[in-house]
Structure 1
Amino acid sequence: MKKIGIMGGTFDPPHLGHLLIAKDVQYALSLDEVWFMPNHIPPHKQLKSLTNTELRIEMLEAAIQNQPSFRLETIELEREGPSYTYDTIILLKERHKNTEFYFIIGADMVEYLPKWHRIKELVEQVNFIGVKRPGYSITTNFPIIEVETPQFDVSSTMIRKRVKEGMTAQFLVPEQVQRIIEEKNLYE
């Protein structure tokens, strides 16, 4: 049976923290691959604006291009409306029968788990991997596999804010992503 890690998010932009977490979880759990799954409309976030889907995919492809065990999964972009993890996991399991899925979330999302759509059914369908994040706890009543990764306090929100204020995202995002941000004048 194949073991696949899933990292969901807006990836607006994808940053080195995403890649570090994915690689550490892959190594710790001997996962065959990690799939980066950009979402269409995250139900838990109130975003003022989201970079268009094509540019987010372009940045994500650029970010993972040198990692053969990383892959882009666009299943959530194929559907309209909010992206609920339960619906996505059911679809993935239908498409990939001989696969065990591990859903990678940060500690901020661990705290939010009780509010997830159909969470009691979801924990029966997928293994949750909790990764520590500064300022958050990994305490929950739901089954979570905890994986230690270096604490790298970076977020897409912080990167967008830095660029908007005229600062650089260099050393926070892969070089190829930095190039796209600059060429397309994103977040200014």
Structure 2
Amino acid sequence: MNLRARKMARTSRDLAAAARRRALDAGLAGFTIEELCEQVGISRRTFFNYFASKEDAVLGISARRDTAHLDEDFAAGGDPHSKHLSPDLLEALTRLALERWRMDDPEPDPERVREVMAVIDQEPRLFKRVLEHMSSDEKRDVALVERREGLPAGDLRASAAVQILMSVMRASAFEFFTTDNADDIETVVGRRVDAMRAVLHG
């Protein structure tokens, strides 16, 4: 990362951390975006360069997330003219998910995740926001699989592939952040992908 990118990443982390602490201390209604910006030392306008809402700041869901180049690489890896699904479809989806993970969170912090989970417990309406993002991500990835594999819109094989991978990633994230696991996320995900492959192929 260059100097500008590092500075922006630091500002994003500072904003999210400050938002989580304020939400834990006073609840979502207990502070304003303006107060958050004053604490971090940025303008309200700058805030929206990083997060779409106060809720997204608390959850750490960045408005700057741009994975178009990763999506294009994934889409280019298939053969849309083939009558069969690519044999490496699930593996390619896994790579895409891990690359996005590393882009979003190059230094995973279990304490940060515990804070986010604590805020969600305290503010259940945040869970709705999480589900909205998950639904949006799922629709985007289903469309990507359809494009990569040359499938018609609505083909259940595309949604099944994405939903299987989402289940693997959720379980892996839970293991990575909430247990005494000492492995990196790639290893944790790899174990579950191997188990998934054994179940699917016998």
TM-score (norm. length: structure 2): 0.23
Tell me which of the two structures has the higher relative contact order, counting C-alpha pairs closer than 8 angstroms and 6 or more residues apart: 1
Greater Rg over alpha carbons, structure = 2
TM-score (norm. length: structure 1): 0.24
Which has the larger share of helix?
2
Which has the larger share of strand?
1
